[in-house]
Amino acid sequence: MRPPVIRKKLDALRPPHLLDFERERTSFSWSQARAELQGLPGGALNIAHEAVERHARGARANRVALRWLGAGGDSIDFTYADLSALSNRFADALTRVGLARGDVLFLLAPRIPELYIAVLGALKAGVVVSPLFSAFGPEPIATRIRLGRGRALLTTRSLYERKVASIRTQLESLQTVLIAGNHEGAPVPEGALGLDALLDAASERFDTAATRPDELALLHFTSGTTGKPKGAMHVHEAVVTHYATGKYALDLHDDDVFWCTADPGWVTGMSYGVIAPLLHGVTMIVDEAEFDAERWYRILRDERVTVWYTAPTAVRMLMKAGTELARQFRFDRLRFVASVGEPLNPEAVWWGHEVLGLPIHDNWWQTETGGIMIANTPALDIKPGSMGKPLPGVDAFVVRRRVENESTVGVEIIDAPDEEGELALRAGWPSMFRGYLGNEERYRKCFVDSPRGRLYLTEDLVRRDADGYFWFVGRADDVIKSAGHLIGPFEVESALMEHPAVAEAGVIGKPDPVIGEAVKAFVSLKPGFAASEALRLELLGHARKRLGPAVAPKEIDFTTTLPRTRSGKIMRRLLRARELGLPEGDTSTLESGG
């Protein structure tokens, strides 16, 4: 049997930033972390200035900031000076097409260089960046652009034609569409502008906007159980957390070659696939291609990656590809591997230890927190299966809500070890979200006053052991985590119900050995429609077309009725229990006949 703890042997020649965990937790302050950044005159703070300009004007100007690996085998290096010049051009181009500080630019693109240049350029111009995952279908794209009142969209010709053209007239706020990477000279779609020509005409000089620390910088959409997706608002001050967590949780040093495999369409790919590595002046690898085990091993080896940040689904896919394949490679330079987004099975931690020669360090955070909060840091022994301990500057509690009339009126803080409760964080870290766009009430409901201060309630269930390690137990709500992506069941149900045959739909996450949870839908049909294999395939196709492959259900079952509460809410928990043959729990609110 394997031991419960992996003891750390520290490299004396290269001690991690966070050598003495407890001491650093005691002495740390966010203001001290902020002082390690440069800032702009008058107390202004701008993420892109810290990520690029600070280095481009100093000793790191000619260091490779971004090594882009094209899907076809080509590669391009961008130094910090290159990124500075290109993002200046982008910022200038945005201004010329009429975008102003505070306007929202949506990004819908594969991992192409223009995506990274656009993020940095927009932030320099004080334009708010909202990334969309390029595997979304037209429906999630339209919902988010409408909610975010996007003024501009950066995309590619093919994505525009496949996903945006059909919804364009519904997007009233959208004035400008920029088409990136149209190098073959094909005509730019009508109503859009070619980015290359705009960049050519733009100036290489641009004065970064002197944004206030509390000025909106990033808008990340995330899903809840009910209603529309929520736009989590993040401000420029978040850069302090990106910096501190890059240092403490990922141990970034400026000679590192860092690879974050997450797509910038999701918060990890933005906070740690763009911002944090550049803040630390490292060389970051961006791979345009989709997952391929052999390709990934080759990248780790050939690019001499030193720090690697990936996700449990990816690790499980590597495990599935077999140890044989992994053993054909040596990863001499790799010194730290971390993972986030879903529970990391102890098996996967050990697989890293045995196959990569390094255990995988699980860490925890969510869109709302903007950065890593709980982590297995380099100097901590690892308890495989645990998410680690709260980082310096983060105070985490296990709580139980006191609910009256369906609203939370307080919490009981559970100090005893090994008891299950909801994870709560003391409000006030710099990358804490500052609102859900247009939904003040929903935001307010995330916080509660307690004897330990104002707490943010995460909706994750956890326990903390006697040594202070946190263990993930599950979600307190019905959101689905599939391949690391948070999916709101309501969005999927709504798309299914747009089909003329569907009367009602209930959507759950069904455990899957590789992607964590797979989206499964139960639908009941309107009178006059009969369940058949052909209809099932039609519904799967309908959902895939509307929602895109990342969000659409993988399985659909027909049912005559769906269990509902007396107040009419679908009891997804019950659907899930029935699907998995688990006890049905408390069904006292179940409407009879469900």
Q: Which is nearer to ligand AMP, 371 or 553 (CB)?
A: 371
Q: Which is nearer to ligand AMP, 321 or 461 (CB)?
A: 461
By C-alpha distance, which of 84, 92, 98, 95 is closest to 202? Answer: 92
By C-alpha distance, which of 220, 213, 267, 277 is closest to 245? Answer: 277
Whole-angstrom CA distances from 145 to 228, 370, 411 are 12, 20, 36
Q: Which is nearer to ligand AMP, 216 or 340 (CB)?
A: 340
Q: Which is nearer to ligand AMP, 340 or 519 (CB)?
A: 340
Strands of the 216-222 sheet, one edge to the other: 193-194, 176-180, 152-156, 104-108, 128-132, 216-222, 230-235
In this structure, the chain runs to a length of 594
Q: Which is nearer to ligand AMP, 80 or 308 (CB)?
A: 308
H runs (alpha helix) in 438-571? 440-444, 489-497, 533-547
Q: Which is nearer to ligand AMP, 297 or 336 (CB)?
A: 336
Asked whether the beta carbons of 297 and 79 are under 8 A apart, the reply is no
User: How far apart are CB 93 and ligand AMP at their closest, in Å?
Assistant: 31
Q: Which is nearer to ligand AMP, 150 or 269 (CB)?
A: 269
User: How far apart are CB 78 and ligand AMP at their closest, in Å?
Assistant: 27
User: How far apart are CB 232 and ligand AMP at their closest, in Å?
Assistant: 8
Which residues fall within 8 angstroms of residue 243, CB to CB, at 6 or more apart? 33, 36, 37, 50, 276, 279, 280
Bridge partners of residue 155, in order along the sequence: 108, 179
User: How far apart are CB 252 and ligand AMP at their closest, in Å?
Assistant: 19
User: How far apart are CB 34 and ligand AMP at their closest, in Å?
Assistant: 24
Rounded to whole angstroms, how far apart are CA atoms 308 and 296? 11
User: How far apart are CB 385 and ligand AMP at their closest, in Å?
Assistant: 10
User: How far apart are CB 202 and ligand AMP at their closest, in Å?
Assistant: 34
Bridge partners of residue 336, in order along the sequence: 307
User: How far apart are CB 387 and ligand AMP at their closest, in Å?
Assistant: 5
User: How far apart are CB 468 and ligand AMP at their closest, in Å?
Assistant: 16
Q: Which is nearer to ligand AMP, 18 or 315 (CB)?
A: 315
- 83: which DSSP letter? H
Q: Which is nearer to ligand AMP, 89 or 361 (CB)?
A: 361
By C-alpha distance, which of 340, 180, 157, 362 is closest to 261? Answer: 340
Q: Where are the beta strands (DSSP E) in 465-513?
A: 470-475, 480-482, 485-487, 502-512
Q: Binding residues for ligand AMP, per CB under 6 A? A: 222, 267, 340-343, 362-364, 366-367, 387, 458, 460, 472, 475, 481, 486
User: How far apart are CB 139 and ligand AMP at their closest, in Å?
Assistant: 19
User: How far apart are CB 516 and ligand AMP at their closest, in Å?
Assistant: 9
Which residues fall within 8 angstroms of residue 300, CB to CB, at 6 or more apart? 259, 308, 329, 331, 334
User: How far apart are CB 261 and ligand AMP at their closest, in Å?
Assistant: 14
H runs (alpha helix) in 54-148? 54-56, 80-96, 113-124, 138-147
What six digits make up the tokens of 431?
């990358």
Q: Which is nearer to ligand AMP, 258 or 472 (CB)?
A: 472
User: How far apart are CB 343 and ligand AMP at their closest, in Å?
Assistant: 4
Other C-beta atoms lying within 10 Å of the C-beta of residue 195: 23
String of DSSP letters for 363-391: EE--GGG-S--EE--TTSPB-TT--BEEP
Q: Which is nearer to ligand AMP, 267 or 278 (CB)?
A: 267
User: How far apart are CB 374 and ligand AMP at their closest, in Å?
Assistant: 8
Q: Which residue has the tokens 């051009």?
A: 89
Q: Which is nearer to ligand AMP, 160 or 351 (CB)?
A: 351
Amino acid of residue 68:
W
Q: Which is nearer to ligand AMP, 138 or 509 (CB)?
A: 509
HSE (CB half, 13 Å, CA atoms) of 421? 22
Which residues fall within 8 angstroms of residue 259, CB to CB, at 6 or more apart? 284, 285, 287, 299, 300, 303, 305, 307, 308, 309
Burial status of residue 156 (CB atoms within 10 A of its CB: 0-12, 13-18, 19 or more): buried
Asked whether the beta carbons of 46 and 240 are under 8 A apart, the reply is no
Q: Which is nearer to ligand AMP, 199 or 387 (CB)?
A: 387
Largest CA distance in the chain: 74
